[in-house]
Structure 1
Amino acid sequence: MKAVVAEAYGPPESLTVRRMPVPVPGPGQIQVRVRAAALNPADLRMVEGAMHELAPLTFPHVPGSDFAGTVVALGDGVSRFTVGDEVFGLGLPRAAVAMATISSDPPSLTTGTMAEYAVFDADTPALAPRPAELAVEHAASLPMAALTALPVMRMGRFQPDETVLVIGATGGVGSTVVPLLAAAKAHVIATAAATDQPYIRSLGATEVIDHHADDVVGETLRRHPGGIAAVVNLAVPGDRLVAFGEAVRPGGRIVNVAFPKPDPAAFGRDDLTVETAFMTAHGGDLTRIAAHAIDGSLPAAIGRRYRLEDGARAYRELIAEHTRGKLIVVMDEQA
């Protein structure tokens, strides 16, 4: 099979596309013919060695977590899926079992989705059947972003007509959080470059602040002098988030996703709730996400599409170029 491969720790430029043995499912595992896979910055952080202590990779390593595909083989003891089932979801590298255990129970592990075939553990809430009404590429774009967005929504407890500032709205998670907030009837202010404003408004943002041209905190308070109900931070390093607390009215909250996470005590306010959300998968989450996608409340946010033979280039462009939503690799050939 063809796959995107890292031969050792290194930058995105070190990735290549070459042939690898097709992975074989063991007990409790399924083999999936991958039809589409989405890129995530975490794929590259692992390849670069930034997570070496937590997830020491073995090489050659196939990156990739998000996918949609078809079950083609079953390991012993698998009863949840059958051959021919259409599925979608995510898995983390087997070296990242500690991280995977936090994200889902049982953990979801994979041989890597940037390949024509991948193996997954079957009994995990991070995998689910793909409804026929949900397009393959749309399904592949959703798992990691949406399984991060859902904890944000649960933690934020957003109410209709509440004003919520979303920092970093154009990325994969932002392109999921904004429409979910809009579906919850929140008043969404999103930060984005001027060229991205039509895109962000199409996802449901009511207002947009150009983070390149404006002081985001000052502009937010100019438009909403009494302060806003909440901030969702998807981009600013948590230790630089304190200034944004000035835009939040008494009794408000900040929900953070970015690393490093902020210290609540640094804000110096007892009336402000500051929490950090992590990607997690509970039973039924992917089914709920699929339903949002099918009814139109979670539109496809696909920035660019690539063939597998261009998968290494896609990772380079993920870092080097401005992107909207998710970058998707489509598997055109199977071998």
Structure 2
Amino acid sequence: MKAIVATDYGPPESYALTDLPIPEPGPGQIQVRIAAASVNPGDIVIPSGVYKAQAPLTFPHVPGNDFAGTVSAVGAGVAAYRVGDEVFGHAVPRALRAMAGVNPSMTTGTLAEYAVFEAGTPFIAPRPPALSRIDAAALPTVGLTARALMATAEPRAGETALVIGATGGVGTTLLPLLSQAGVTVTATGHPADEPLLRKLGAHTVIGYDDDYPTSRDLGLNLVLPTDRLQRAAAAIRPGGRLFTITFPPPRPDMIERSDLRFELVLDLDGRFGGMAEVAALTPTVTATYPLTGAVQALTDFAGNHTVGKLVITV
């Protein structure tokens, strides 16, 4: 099969399209013929070597964790799926098993013609006919994250929120949910992104370096390292909430505000729902690439300002 591989730690420019044996499913696993997969930060960060001490990779490594496709084989003990079923979902590289949740789906990597997944998790589900393969491939990680943010932050009608990094996959999925909840949103983005962000639900769009409005009820950080949120914290009213999806794990001393609820939102166990619930969301897909252009897609994602999701069609 054709697959994108990293043969050593390095940047996405060093990845290559090559031939690998088709992975076969073991007990409790399914093999999927991949139709589409989307790009996520982990596809670049993990092969970069940042986490090699905690989760060393075995090379060649196939990146990719979000996908849509067709079940092409089932392992022993799998009753929920049959060959020919249309599925979509999210999985993590097997090297990250120790860092994953209680019942994750592990994968051989979705930037390939075929991949194998653990079947018995909420992170894989049948793809509804109304959800296209491209949208289904774009949704899993950002949808899980957006739902976890909404469930944890519990935004209420009439509240004000600051969304930092609203143009990414999570931000463009989250903005409509905040709008539906009746929240007045100030979003950070590039000037060219303003029409899209307003369409998605932002009331005000400011530049990344602009002064933040003050007295926000809620802050949602989607991009900055957690130890760089002092300016964001200063924009939150006394007793407000500040949530982040980035590392390092937050500590009160990072923001010098003991009165704020300051937390990392990371749902590794599907506590707020799995793919069946994510299917109801709508992603923003701004570019598609063929598998032969996947290295370029990953390079673009790493080096350029990208909006929404980039999807690889296989």
Same fold (TM over 0.5): yes
Q: Are 1:250 and 2:247 an aligned pair? A: no
Q: Is the CA contact (8 Å cut-off) linking 1:305 and 1:329 kept in structure 2?
A: yes
Partner of 1:51: 51
Q: Are 1:118 and 2:115 an aligned pair? A: yes
Task: Give the SS at the match of 1:231.
Answer: strand
CA-to-aligned-CA distance 1:246-293 (integer Å, 9 cap, x gap): 2111221101112223312343434311111114324743211212x3
What count of residue pairs does the alignment treat as equivalent? 313
Give me the TM-score of the superposition, normalised by structure 1. 0.90
Task: Give the SS at the match of 1:182.
Answer: helix
**Whole-Å Cα distance in 1 between the matches of residues 165 and 273 of structure 2?**
27
Identical counterparts, % of pairs: 48
Give the aligned residue type for 1:209.
I
Q: Is the CA contact (8 Å cut-off) linking 2:227 and 2:255 kept in structure 1?
A: no
Partner of 1:19: 19
Gaps of 5+ in 1: 222-226
Q: Judging changes above 3 Å, is the alpha-carbon distance between structure 1 residues 15 and 271 closer, same or farther for their aligned structure 2 residues?
A: same
Partner of 2:249: 261
Q: Is the CA contact (8 Å cut-off) linking 1:93 and 1:109 kept in structure 2?
A: yes
Gaps of 5+ in 2: none
Task: Give the SS at the match of 1:255.
Answer: strand
Q: Indicate the RMSD between aligned Cα atoms, in angstroms.
A: 1.4
Give the aligned residue type for 2:291.
L
**Whole-Å Cα distance in 2 between the matches of residues 69 and 54 of structure 1?**
31
Partner of 1:165: 162
1:52-91 maps to which residues of 2 (within 5 A)? 52-91=52-91
Counterpart among 128, 134, 148 of residue 137 in structure 1:
134
Counterpart among 255, 276, 281 of residue 287 in structure 1:
276
Q: Is the CA contact (8 Å cut-off) linking 1:125 and 1:283 kept in structure 2?
A: no
**Whole-Å Cα distance in 1 between the matches of residues 274 and 105 of structure 2?**
14
Partner of 1:203: 200
Task: Give the SS at the match of 2:231.
Answer: helix
Partner of 1:306: 289
Partner of 1:154: 151
Give me the TM-score of the superposition, normalised by structure 2. 0.96
**Whole-Å Cα distance in 2 between the matches of residues 85 and 283 of structure 1?**
25
